[in-house]
A and B are shown apart, each in its own frame.
Chain A
Amino acid sequence: MTDNVLTVDCSGLSCPEPALAAKKALTSTKSGIVEVLVDSTTSRDNVLRAGKRACWAGEALERDEGGFRVVFRK
């Protein structure tokens, strides 16, 4: 069985919008997997901070097409 994955696509968005989108997704979701797609290292790091603050475990993976996939689990 696979968990439902909520994907928040922040491609094309610049700071601080990805961090805010991550905050909204992570505070309105109780558990499961949330992945946030971002373009830059700044957005990646800011989204990771939001995840930590919202008490989700996060890791960032580089995407083949460029940018990052930040995956949160709880």
Chain B
Amino acid sequence: MSDPNLIAGLERSEDAGVYKLTEELAVVQTLDFFTPIVDDPYQFGQIAVSNSLSDVYAMGGRPLTAMNIVCFPVNTMDISVLREILRGGLDKMHEAGVILVGGHSVEDKELKYGLSVTGTIHPSRVIFNTGCQPGDRLILTKPLGVGIINTALKVQEAGQESIDQAVGCMAALNQKASELMQTEPVSACTDITGFGLLGHACEMIENQDVGMVIDSAAVPYIAEAAELADWGLIPGGMYRNRDFRSHMIDMDEAVSASLQAILFDPQTSGGLLISLPAASAEGLLAVMHREGIVDAAIVGEVRSEPKGRIIVR
């Protein structure tokens, strides 16, 4: 069904739906929920909320209200676990300036938590996944490797410092990065989640008149992830991501096997990947660093050739 007011809907793999209400105002909607990726229920609540809000931030929108989505094994799990999850979530919503207006819970064998989010955006200032221009630089705002760290964590192989770093990254809001990018003439943006950096980068250029070069040495990642990847502590999602997109990737053989895995590593609540003119990129990066987005880095650029392909060097 088509509607002249629908700005972003099902037909494109956008991060959120956008519907124009007036010439000045559009509503942004998204929802996401998942099973725990960390043991601490408070941290899980924070991560789930940060992840759910990220889709609004990736489009340049401002989340306003949210509703809890809860699946909980009420007969086998202590209700205090749920309380901690919701407390973590609510604290993160407060940090984001988002108001919790309701929610729904169902009994389920497996615990799940997330949000349905409503936000606003100016109809002419929506930032889509596509629209990268030749010459653009690509800024990534969070380090990669959290999928590998989470996998190693399951078998007690990840170091505490790496675990803390991964949790900190996943729980960090993309709010500031989104607000800062809106001060620049951004061509396109998405957030890095389950498909990994290269998977989401492919979405930005698929069937477009542009390609990309990713400078693997410039990509920020949690240091221990490389060693853990060498030991094969890699989530199955990395292999699926790689197999799904390998036909679009020209991988330089000099890129180490561990770094290749990191580039396809599925992320939870990952950073924004922002495409913007070269003249604006260094300035935005400097402001991000000053504002505490310390891992942000320019990781590559957009080229007119090879169209629809990504060179990783």
Contact = CB atoms under 8 A, between A and B. Distances in A.
Interface of A: 14-17, 19-20, 22-23, 40-42, 45-50, 52-53
B235 A15 contact: yes
A49 B239 contact: no
Contact of B232 (A14, A40, A41, A48): A48
B236 A42 contact: yes
B155 A41 contact: no
B114 to A, nearest CB: 24
6 contacts: A16-B234, A17-B155, A19-B234, A45-B234, A49-B257, A53-B232
Interface in B231-270: 231-236, 239, 257
A45 B155 contact: no
B155 A49 contact: no
A37 to B, nearest CB: 15
A40 to B, nearest CB: 8
B227 to A, nearest CB: 8
Given A46-B234, A49-B230, A16 B239 contact: no
B229 interface: yes
Given A16-B151, A16-B155, A20-B155, A49 B231 contact: yes
B253 to A, nearest CB: 15
Given A42-B239, A45-B239, A49-B257, A19 B233 contact: yes
Contacts of B155: 16-17, 20
Contacts of A50: 231-232
B239 A47 contact: no
A19 B231 contact: yes
Given A15-B151, A50-B231, 16 more contacts: A14-B236, A16-B155, A16-B157, A16-B233, A16-B234, A20-B231, A23-B232, A40-B236, A42-B234, A45-B232, A45-B234, A47-B232, A49-B229, A49-B230, A49-B232, A53-B231
B242 to A, nearest CB: 10
Contacts of A53: 230-232
Given A15-B151, A49-B257, A20 B234 contact: no
B154 interface: yes
Contacts of A17: 155
Given A15-B151, A16-B152, A41-B239, A49 B234 contact: yes
B301 to A, nearest CB: 31
The 10 A-B pairs of least Cβ separation, nearest first, read A46-B232, A19-B232, A49-B232, A50-B232, A42-B236, A53-B230, A16-B233, A20-B155, A16-B151, A42-B239
A17 B154 CA distance: 9
Contacts of A23: 231-232
Contacts of A40: 236
